[in-house]
Every structure is written in structure tokens, then in C-alpha cells.
Amino acid sequence: MQSYSSMYYYGAPQQQQGYPTIPAHPTVSKASVTNSANYHQNNHHHHHQQQQQQQQQPPLHHVAHFSYSSAPPPSNTPYNQPQHHPTYATPGSYYGQQPYHPPSQPPPPQQQQQQQQQQQHPTLIPAPSAGSYPIVSYPSAPGSSQYGTLSSSQATPPLKGMHTQVGAPLHQYTAGPPPPPTGYAGGHPSQMMPTVNGQGSTGRWFYCRPFPNLSQLSAALGGLSGVPELEVEALRPVNLLQERNLLPPRPLEAPEPNLSADLKKVNCSPQTFRCTLTSIPQTQALLNKARLPLGLVLHPFRDLQQLPVITSNTIVRCRFCRTYINPFVTFLDQRRWKCNLCYRVNDVPDEFMYNPVTRSYGEPHKRPEVQNATVEFIASSDYMLRPPQPAAYLFVLDVSHNAVEAGYLKYFCEALLDKLDKLPGDARTKVGFLTFDNTVHFYNLQEGLSQPQMLVVSDVDDIFIPSHDSLMVNLKESKELVKDLLTSLPAMFSQSKETHSALGPALQAALKLMTPTGGRISVFQTQLPSLGAGALQSREEPNQRSSSKGVQHLSPATDFYKKLALDCSGLQIGVDLFLLSSQYADLASLACISKYSAGSVFSYPSFHHIHNPAQLEKFQKDLERYLTRKIGFEAVMRIRCTKGLSIHTFHGNFFVRSTDLLSLANVNPDSAFAVQMSIEDTLADSSLACFQAALLYTSCKGKRRIRVHTLCLPVVNQLTDVYAGADVQAITCLLANMAIDRSVSSSLSDARDALENAVVDLISAYKSNVSSLQTSGMVVPAGLRLFPLYILALLKQKALRTDTSTRLDERIFSMCEFKTQPLQQLMRMVYPDLYRLDNISDQGALHLNDSVVPQPPLLHLSAERLSRDGAFLMDCGNVFYLWIGKCCNEMFVRDVLGCPSYSSIPPNMGHLPELDTPLSERVRAFVDWLQDNRGFSSNLHVLKDDASSKLPFFQQLVEDRSESGSSYQDFLQHIQLQVSK
């Protein structure tokens, strides 16, 4: 395995490479040749019959992209369906159907109706309960077990109360060359069209086919036939100086691309894949004219509630550009498909002709790959250069005096002990521990020992591994020893007086320990590393914290951590950093270790287990999620896009291995990526542009998997259309990433200017090119009305603000978050959602499974929207603030907070008590609902209206004038001045 690892480092997986010379599926294509030859001979007389059969099928079946009739079927098409034949059925279980049903409770009538709808149209119907992703249940066909709906890629045990069909023997059609076509035949019509819950299978004809008929096909390709109302609304000119209420009542949704209804239905969820311009400009010139950035915002490994997982011998890909087959390809006829990225024509492999959903043959357009924009393939050994690695976790813990003072170790050990059984992995899972102060301590946890052995290496200048096989141990075999160690660890170092920290050597040791397997290193650091390689000096000058002249030391002081991270990345090791420091610890340098090894960075400034309970609580919550969240190992992600588009820059934590390939040693569900794009060639050839992100990873169960997301967007040649499709949140997110890059490579003031200029440019471009109505005022299209507001909010963020005193580490951490947080989370951090809670009502409430979630309207982040007699909830993404006004009505205080009066509210209230009042229930339902859709759960702070505690709340009111910047109105005036210059 060791010899593999070095190969694996540099050579991209063969199949991932875009070289057209590699034959795509040699075995199968050979098989198909022989098969078809046989079939032609044997079944020639059935040919006619076959065609007749097809014609008898409902008219909708004649899809425009199947030119059955116009082009005579080639000789290898006549697979017929003999009536009597043993069904092709091999026992063996793969991923079975697991439609998610809330266990055993009879659903309320509304939900029932919804379920029925879903079964009729099991495609992308937004399920309110999911909020993020539809709960899709494929009609469970007996035996159609290639793929199923899983709550995540880690198979969950089948839920109770499933339909009986699901329990039927699972069949598999994965092994060997394509089975004889006769085997495809479902013997009886009932088997061909299974019924689910009494629903006739006829419903299935309707479901989600790219183009139901010719006219719609042309409409879809036309892209812009008929301007929908949404677009008109997005283009309504808004004079920013006059309009004061810009916010929509509910948090902003992603704009819908202007596609035909069918394409919209299959398109990738905007939470996973979003483009800054949902209408792609045809040329770079048009893009330049629009003065908006073109880019993608991706969250590829997001926790999905439904994901079709496909196991098949051949993963169908374009032979030329290696694109995975997706819902936006065109089928020229039944045997050929045209790639939507490079427009070249490919053959449909035999195996693909069989549809496991309907168990019918000759319907390639109904395969799950072609019905879903997000699919996951179980990859074959072609996609590995070494056997899939086991899950391996190494914890590197700081145990110096500083760490003991901060007291994190006890809580870490508790959390890990608690979650030891829930660490993602299988029977091969490995764990190891390593502690360091001025020396590095290893722990021998070899099975059979009576207690863990500590091995100390004090030569930090030339670190070595004292033992090779007993330091990373199998978790299952050595569980008792691991538990032993975790219980004794906090006490072991409670007397530590060592103040030095040899982080560099500890990391080198960790790298050596993990070299044979790869995996995840979690580093807990509480101070500036001061010993051995990678030692750092304090660079922060506290009295320069608020200088407006320019912030220095945003870039790393040494390349030690970067080089180490690159070595890690090559050996498939991801490093996650937890910084629990109360002093300056030079995060700018330390963060490199995670940045280039695709890890995550967590920071808890002024962490102390007694003095700072808020940080402790956050640490515990984060740890809980961190230890149990899904993880993918040895991953690569390639982003392909339609010919003519090209990738300019990537943002996020990874190592860029080639122009479109990211190397991700670890991939986690909480990190997102952004990609800047440029248009190199005119896109006039096509009316659609597509993007495909393919993430190849090893699951914690040792399976190689490929998650493919495809996004399809219309191409436009009018500037108004570009503006109509602009996604203001994605634009803000991409600009934030670009600004962070700029502030590191150039300077902070430069980055701030660039952000301001983005607004100025947009307004003047819109003024000169589109808006002819008004000449005075600041006019922007309604879709972009929040843009100046968001930019102002960005300028007031810790990462980019200048005049307020900001600790360098906090600034850097904020920058790291900008680079990796998913869009939703980032937007909440930039422009928090503010709601008034004291008059919360059920009006317009969301009805979920068995609860009613009130939906109070969003408020602008300005003190003028607050009132002393109210209670306001601010959702800042990673924290909630509940501000209680001085004269807040007694009922709210009593019913929700459980306190008799305002003055008796305790100062550090961190949760809402479970009271049995309708108001409390409403508030809790709402807060819980807000918590639901995010990875890390957020703390809630109840703040009273007094000078000291309300500060964090009022700092977030970005529309008001503060020490970190001007008010929104002043900002607009400033922009207007710039525009008129």
C-alpha cells in the first residue's frame, strides 16, 4: 500500500483524466458488439413486432429526442421482449429502496395528499419538510434494486413500515457482461409496471422527461420563448434612494433559471450548485458589459435527504470529455446521445438500455442518471489507484500549560468518549492519539496491552516514530484501551508546567503516522507554536488593530505549514485545526495546514472552560457535529463546463491539481467551494450552458463513490436578461471570496475599494445600458436591489472592516469562514436575519409534518426597526441573539422565557425553556426550524437591553452608522458620488 500511495499522489485517477485516448468501457463495448450481432440473427423476425409494440405505447412515450420513426433503427436495436422467460434475477442485495417515511405515525391528510403526489411524480417536488431537498421516493419496483433513495450515502438500515414490495428479494444486475437481453423482459405486465400503494403505474409515464414533445423541446432549446413573470419582477427598476423596504418577507430564495418547466424540474438544487448569473451571457464582451462576476457556488458534499445511488457496471460518460451522462444530454436516437458539454455524439451502452426503475428495456432516457441532476455512482476499480483506504482518525492534542489552563482537554475527551461508536467508519476504522508540549507523546494502544503506553520523543528537531504498527490501531479491537486513554488523559497532564509548544514536530510525526493509510488529522492548538520546525513569532501589534492604514500580516509568515499541507494532501491526509487560543497564535500561518489539505478551521477566541461558557458550549456543539458528520476520503473533484466556458479561479480549501481538478484529501459536508468562470469562446452554438461537478471519494465504509451534480442554465444575448437572472446572494458570496484573495495578495484597502467599485460599476453599467426611464437617482434592477446593502454588510465584517479594533486572528478566521462556508450560512453571517418574536402569530405559518412553524417577516438590520417593547431574534448563522427590549411585554417574558419580569431575566440565558404556552411553542418551533437546516447547531443568547450585553446584537445592525463604517444611506450617497464622477 505504501508503494501505491506515492503513485496515487501525482497521477490523477485514470478515469478522471480527460484524455480521450482511454477507451471508455472496453469490455462492454465488445460485449455489445457480439450481443447485437447475435440478436440481429436470432431475433430478426421479431424486429417488426418490436416496432409495433413501441407504437402501441402511449403517445407521450414518443419523445422528441428519440427519433425512432425518422431514423430507421440500426440493426442492433431490435431487442425484443419474449413473453416467457425466467426473469433476470440474481439474488444479492445492493442499495434497496428506502423511501423515507416518518415512522409509523399516520400522516395528517395534507401530508398524505402530498405523498400521493410524490408517488405520482416522484421527481423534484419541493417538500416543505425538507426545506432543502425533496423527499423523493421512487416507486418501489420489485427487484429494481440498483439504486434507491438513501438518506445519505451511508446506507441507513431499512425503515419499518415500508411497502411490502421493498422487502421482496433484491435483485442485482451488476455482475458480468450485459446479460442477454431476453433477461430484461419482465414476464408479466404487472411486473413491468409495478403498482405502489394502489397507484397505477400509468402515472409514471408523466414523470420527468426532459422534453415531453417536440414543441416543448424547441421551446426549451429556445430558452427565452416567453418571458416569465418572475423575470419581469426581477427587472423592475428600483430607485435605491427612494425605496426603503428592500427585504422580501422571507429569506431570499435563489432565482429560478429561465428554462422550460421540464428542465427546471430536473435541475440541480440551488443549495448544492448555484451560479451567480442564472442566465449565462453569450460572450465575454456581454459579461464585461454587465459588470457582474460569473462564477459558481458549490456545496457538493452537502447532507442530502434523498440521493439516488446507482450501481452499474458501466458508468456512462462522454468518450471525449468524460462528462457523466446527465439529464441535459440529448438522445439522438435510442442508441446515441449527444454530450451537452462538448456536443459530441456517443453510443449508449447496452447496459444503459435497461431501466431498473421500470424494469423495462429500451428507455435510456428514463434511467435515474437521466432523471436526476444529482446522483451518486458506486465506482468500480477503474476509479481507484489503490484499494480504498479505511477511515483513519488521528487526534493531535496540545497539552502544554496553556492548554491545561484553557481546559479543553476534558471536554474533548468526554465528547469523543461519547461519540466513539458514532465515528463514521466500518470494522477497519483506525484511530490514534498524539499529544505534545515541548515534546511529542505517542500512545501505544496495541490490542492486548492492559493499559495504554505513553512513548515520549523529546528530540523535536528530528522527529521519528517510536513504533510503526501500534500507534494507529483498529478502533474495534482496541476500543477498551482507547476508552482508558480518553478517561485518563485529562488528569495525566493536569500538572503540566511546560509552556512551549512543538506543533511543527507534532504535525510531522502525525504525517508519518498517517502515511500508510491517509485519513484525517484533527489538531487542537492553544497557543503560538514556539519550538522546532514551524515555530512562529508574534506578529500582531495590538495598537495597530484598528488602524485604517492597512492591515499587515494577512499572509503566512512561513511556508512550513503550506508545504506540510501539500505533503499531507499528496498522501490523502486532511488536517482540521481547532484553535482555542486566548492570545495571538498566528492563524494566518497555521490555517495553511488546513487550507491546502482540504481541512476545516475552527476557532474559539478566548476559550476558557470556566470564564467563557459561551465558547465552551459552542466548542462542545461543534465537536459533537464534527465527530459524527459524514466524511469522504481521498477525494478529487472535477468541474466540467460547456465548451467555451473555462474556470478562472477556485476558492475554498483544497489543492488545485490541474485547471479543473481539485484534490481534496478529506471532504466534509460543511465546506463549500466557489469558482470564478470566464467565457473564452462565444456560446452562440447552444442556448444552454451546463456545469458538472463530479466528486470522487472513498466513503467511510471503504466504497469508492462518485457524486455528480449537473446544473443547466440558459444562455442569453441581451443585457437585460443577464440582469434578470442575476443571483445577488451568489454574487455577494463570490465577491467576498475575491475580496479575501485580494486583501491577502494586495492589501485590505484595495479589496475594500474593489468591493465598492463593484457596486459603482453595476449601477453605472445599468444606467448607461439598460435603464432609460430615469436619469436621476440610483436605479438597479429589482433582482439586484439588495446588492449595495450586502456589499456594505461585507465591508463591515470582521474580515474586511478597517476602523474597528479587530484582532488579527479573528480577522483571519473570518476570512477562512468566507472561503469555506456554504452560501446560506455565509449570507446569514454577512446579513443576519432579524425577526420580531413578541407578536409572532400563525399567520402564513408553514405546516410541517406535525408542527406549525410560524413565519415572521424579515426586518432590516437597523435600530429604527427595533422597539423597546418588542423581542427580536437575530439569526447570525453560527449564533442566535434574542434581544429583549426594556419595555417588552410581560407576557412574552413570562410565557417564553419563564421569568416573572424583565428584570429577573438572568444575564447568561442560553436557551429557551420548554413552557407549555402557545407563544413559547410557537417561538420554539420557529427557532428549532431555523436550527434544522444547518450543519453545526448554533447557540442562542438572550440579551437584555443594557449597555454591556446588547453590544454583539447592535454590532450586527449593519445599516446603521457605526465605528466600522457609514450607514446605508451614507453609503448610497457615497456610491452616487462615485457614479456621477
* Residues found near other proteins in the complex (CB under 8 A): 10, 17-18, 555-560, 562-563, 566, 570, 596, 646-650, 655-661, 676, 678
As beta bridge partners, residue 641 has: 691
How far apart are CB 559 and other proteins at their closest, in Å? 5
* Smallest distance from other proteins to CB 679, Å: 12
Quote the DSSP letter at residue 633: E
Nearer to other proteins, 258 or 569 (CB): 569
Q: Which is nearer to other proteins, 68 or 320 (CB)?
A: 320
DSSP strand pairing (280-281 vs 704-716): parallel
Length of the chain: 981
Residue 620: C-alpha distances to residues 302, 607, 626, 669, 738 (Å): 22, 12, 10, 19, 32
Closer residue to other proteins (CB): 319 or 322: 322
CA distance 687 to 715: 5
Q: Provide the residue type at 619 as one letter.
A: F
Query: In this structure, how many other beta carbons lie within 10 angstroms of the beta carbon of residue 270?
Result: 23
Shortest CB 794 distance to other proteins, Å = 22
> In angstroms, what is the minimal distance from the CB of 261 to other proteins?
36
Strands 779-781 and 237-239: antiparallel
Report whether 100 contacts 135 (CB < 8 A): yes
Three-state DSSP class for 219? Answer: helix
Nearer to other proteins, 562 or 860 (CB): 562
In whole angstroms, the minimum distance from the beta carbon of 673 to other proteins comes to 14
Q: Write down the least CB distance from residue 88 to other proteins, Å.
A: 41
CB of 808 to other proteins, least distance (A): 16
CA–CA gap between residue 839 and residue 892 (Å, rounded):
9
Smallest CA-to-CA distance from 946 within 862, 879, 868, 859 is with 868
* Min dist. Cβ of residue 588 to other proteins (A): 10
What per-residue string of b and e applies to 65-78 under the rule 16 or more CB within 10 Å gives b?
Answer: bbbbeeeebeebbb
Cell of 658: 490541474
Indicate the residue among 529 and 556 with the shorter CB distance to other proteins. 556
Per the DSSP assignment, residues forming a β-bridge with 707 are 376, 695
- To the nearest whole angstrom, how small is the minimum distance from the Cβ of residue 592 to other proteins? 9
Our CB check for other proteins shows the closer of 435 and 666 to be 666
Closer residue to other proteins (CB): 296 or 304? 296
Instruction: State which residue, 156 or 745, has the beta carbon closest to other proteins.
Output: 745
Strands (E) located in 786-928: 833-836, 846-847, 852-853, 858-859, 871-875, 879-884
Q: Look up residue 545 and give its amino acid.
A: R
Q: How far is the CB of 595 from other proteins (least distance, A)?
A: 8
Q: Which three cell numbers stand for residue 515?
A: 502515511
Nearer to other proteins, 234 or 590 (CB): 590
Q: Which of 765, 755, 673, 674 lies closest to 281, judged by CA?
A: 765
| Packed helices 808-820 and 728-745: angle between N→C axes, nearest 10 degrees | 140
Distance in angstroms (rounded) separating the CA atoms of residues 846 and 852: 6
Q: Can you tell me the distance from the alpha carbon of 886 to that of 897, in angstroms, rounded to the nearest whole number?
A: 14
Closest Cα partner for 412 from 616, 154, 185, 184?
A: 616
Closest CB to other proteins among residues 298, 859: 298
Residue 809 Cβ vs other proteins, minimum distance, rounded to whole Å: 18
Nearer to other proteins, 657 or 709 (CB): 657
Of 348 and 736, nearer to other proteins (C-beta) is 736
Rg (CA), the chain: 29
Cell of 486: 480518553
- 627 with 416: CB under 8 angstroms? yes
Return the DSSP state at 159: P
CB of 563 to other proteins, least distance (A): 7
Neighbours of 877 (CB within 10 A): 21
Cα dist from 827 to 102, 537, 673, 877, whole Å: 31, 34, 14, 8
Residue 8: how many CB atoms within 10 A of its CB? 20
Output 10 or 245, the one with its CB closest to other proteins: 10
Helices (H) and strands (E) in the chain, counts: 30, 35
- Burial string for 419-446 (b: 16+ CB within 10 Å, else e) reads eeeebbbeebbbbbbbbbbbbbbbbbbb
CB 342 within 8 A of CB 318: yes
Taking the CA of residue 493 as centre, how many other CA atoms within 13 Å lie in the half-sphere pointing to its CB? 30
Quick one: 467 or 659, whose CB is closer to other proteins?
A: 659
> Which CB atom, from 130 or from 677, has the smaller least distance to other proteins?
677
* Cβ closest to other proteins, residue 148 vs residue 556: 556
Give the shortest CB-573-to-other proteins separation in angstroms: 15
Q: Minimum distance between the CB of residue 656 and other proteins, rounded to whole angstroms? A: 4
Torsion of CA 935, 940, 945, 948, to 10 degrees: -80
CB of 680 to other proteins, least distance (A): 10
Q: What's the rounded Cα separation, in Å, for the pair 173 and 89?
A: 7
Say how far apart CA 14 and CA 22 lie, in whole Å. 8
Q: Which is nearer to other proteins, 646 or 901 (CB)?
A: 646
Q: Nine-digit cell at 163?
A: 411497502
Shortest Cβ 644–other proteins spacing (Å): 15
Name which of 570 and 856 has its Cβ closer to other proteins.
570
Q: Cβ 283 to other proteins, closest distance in Å?
A: 18
Q: How far, in Å, CA of 447 to CA of 426, rounded?
A: 18
Strand partners, 274: 297
Provide the minimum distance between the beta carbon of 649 and other proteins in the complex, in angstroms, as a whole number.
5
